[in-house]
Amino acid sequence: MDWFGSTHEVSSRRYNGRYGGRTTSMGTILPSTSSIPLREIESIDRAIAKSFADERRGNHVINEVFQLKGDEDLARALQESLKLGEPSPWNRNVSGSCYNESNHPRCDVCKNFIRKNTAGVVVYKAHPFWGQKYCVFHEHDGTTRCCSCERMESKETRYVALGDGRKLCLECIDSAVMDTTECQPLYNDIQKFYESMGMKVEQKIPLLLVERQALNEARNGETNGHYHLPETRGLCLSEEQTISTVSRQPRTGIGMNWAPNMRREPYKLTRICEVTAILILHGLPRLLTGTILAHEMMHAWLRLNGYVALRQDVEEGICQVVAHMWLTSQMASISGQGKRFALEKKLSEFFKYQIESDQSPVYGHGFRAGHRAVVKHGLQKTLYNIRSTGNFPF
């Protein structure tokens, strides 16, 4: 999923951060009112009033919002200054280091104060879930993002490079599933999850963890594959192919910031049913690996049970619904204390957020339509309607 979050334009006043998709531009610090003619003061008052009205109407949308209290204090200070003939308390020199330290936002990537543009306002972007704020130019200067959680690599923390060019943050690699053998317990758990819903997968389907290149090659070799995003993370195969799998080798290096050595081995797929194998991208955290696996297993279940020629948004939508159900069940089982449990909980919330906020017509809209149907009618009735009509029930 792409990072989204509109450009922030922030003046030299205090801001209150949150995520969204809004943009604003605030004025510069006002001079002392003791030297301002009355007509200009009235003009300022009108501008402030208009700003309040615009905010109430929602005409200006921002990600990092200035607290309304700041504008109210400014207006009050101007009025009190007129009465008492004293300089406004907002008439201060804000270019010093003391102001920067307490008010000027720092980039979470380069750790520098975020630059002002030619109009004198601070401009930056922020991740909609993590709230990580960063200089706009980091989107185009080759700054690394974690292939799992999407957070940008900062200059203080190095990410771990995998053999296929992807990189993982240290938090995500802590629970990463690196090869097929490591994934088998998770595969067994998801099979039991399907059985608990009355949807046992009868055939024994090989599960293989592979690198990005092997996954893309397998996708291109499918003549009747299902819909995929540009960055494929999982695949349900129905063709006979030879796949290059990965297996973990003894690790080398010192400390946490290193990746295991991986060995590549060919694996010949033989077609004994409508599904020849499920492929998952290796090196992703357990919860994300499981979510992808639950999605691809639903593709396999549909094929093995005669659901053919489904519309893309219907098939991908119901697969996302089941993946979301599995992830929700995992979130309910996360318990304990400490940094590791807190991290796992936060990652599960992010992966769930990714599914729910996806705006693509096939995956996003398909998920929301399928989720509404399952909430209203239940999974089994929804599947029956898909088989009979090719669509979700209303």
Sheet of 8-10: strand order equals 8-10, 122-126, 133-135
Q: What one-character-per-residue DSSP string does 27-51 give?
A: -PPPPPGGGS-HHHHHHHHHHHHHH
Show the tokens assigned to 190: 């998801």
User: What was the pLDDT predicted at 116?
Assistant: 87
* Average pLDDT over every residue of 96-109: 70
Q: How far apart are CA 194 and CA 201, in angstroms?
A: 7
CB 20 within 8 A of CB 5: yes
Ranked by mean pLDDT, the top range of 36-50, 51-65, 84-98, 262-276 is 262-276
User: The dihedral of CA 345, 351, 352, 353: what is its sign?
Assistant: positive
CA angle 198-199-205, nearest 5°?
A: 145
* Average pLDDT over every residue of 271-280: 78
Lowest mean per-residue pLDDT among 64-68, 188-192, 360-364, 389-393: 64-68
CB 135 within 8 A of CB 126: no
User: What was the pLDDT predicted at 242?
Assistant: 59
Show the tokens assigned to 141: 């200067």
Residue 283 has pLDDT above 80, yes or no: yes
Residue 126 has pLDDT above 60, yes or no: yes
Looking at the chain, the whole-number percentage of residues with pLDDT higher than 70 is 63
Query: Which residues, at least 6 apart from 103, have a Cβ–Cβ distance to it below 8 Å?
Result: 12, 13, 14, 94
* Average pLDDT over every residue of 53-66: 41
Lowest mean per-residue pLDDT among 61-65, 94-98, 353-357: 61-65
CB atoms within 10 A of CB 283: 28
Task: Quote the radius of gyration of the chain (alpha carbons, Å).
Answer: 27
CA diameter of the chain: 90
User: What was the pLDDT predicted at 261?
Assistant: 64
Q: Which of 228, 19, 206 is nearest to 128 (CA)?
A: 19
β pairing state of 207-210 and 277-281? parallel
Phi, then psi, of 264 in degrees rounded to 5: -100, 135
311-323: burial string, b at 16+ Cβ within 10 Å, e else: eebbbbbbbbbbb
β pairing state of 262-268 and 242-248? antiparallel
Of residues 9 and 101, the one with the higher pLDDT is 101
CB 53 within 8 A of CB 36: no
* Average pLDDT over every residue of 272-298: 91
Average pLDDT for the chain? 75
Q: What one-character-per-residue DSSP string does 218-263 give?
A: HHHH-SS-----SS--EEEE-S--EEEEEEE----SSSSS----EE
Q: How far apart are CA 96 and CA 377, in angstroms?
A: 62
User: What was the pLDDT predicted at 216?
Assistant: 87
pLDDT digits (tens, 9 = 90+) for 214-228: 888 888 766 555 555
pLDDT digits (tens, 9 = 90+) for 175-184: 999 999 999 9
Q: Which of 292, 353, 291 is nearest to 128 (CA)?
A: 353
In 3-state terms, what secondary structure has residue 108?
coil
**Which element (helix H / strand E) includes 301?**
helix 286-304
Query: Residues for the chain: how many in total?
Result: 394
**Which element (helix H / strand E) includes 345?**
helix 339-357
Q: How confident is the model at residue 262 (pLDDT cuts 50, 70, 90)?
A: low
